[in-house]
Structure 1
């Protein structure tokens, strides 16, 4: 059974996280978590882009990570900024690659780059956390 947690940041902004199976079906759960968090924060204008970004990060982890689970985190890092992240047990960093017109996959990180104001991967002793930040206008 997936484990969900909610916590308060020092700035008073909550964060949401959930441990999920390393399966493509987990992208739907990650999107729901993202929509819920952004709705609670009144940042609905970011919801569709953030849900698409978290789906791509989950798909990357499902394809390239190890072990049976991943962890999805949605944090409010500023008044108009959110960070969506996926933690997995692989230390292999994601790399955006050039794709051809007929390629059916490999576009995920290019899409993340397009929608996010920044993205990256932070190494951990046990693996990595791939994250993307999105910012609302205004």
Structure 2
């Protein structure tokens, strides 16, 4: 990748029952199967990490779109849910993103939500591969 403005580095050991660390030490997590999958739940999991990353990235895209359109977001947040889904051969993920923006009318919030989905790097990476449902709270 020739034009990267930033590259994240992480190292994982042990898969879903292991650890993951970033090279700068800011991320250092124990990984564990959730209780609903038969694990002890004493750690995070890839779906939680993906939900956190996607929601943070999406909020950045939302802020960019709002600024470009001259819209003041006011207080806002995004809830991300990432499902691990069993399919015919293995597993895949599904995503639901819910925007909470009480200072915006529903029409404006929906327009911004869909515009952010067009520019968010996570949305671009998942497009055509992952079902992403968008909702305004």
Structure label with greater radius of gyration: 2
TM score, norm. by length of structure 1: 0.34
With structure 2 as the length reference, what TM-score do the two structures score?
Answer: 0.34
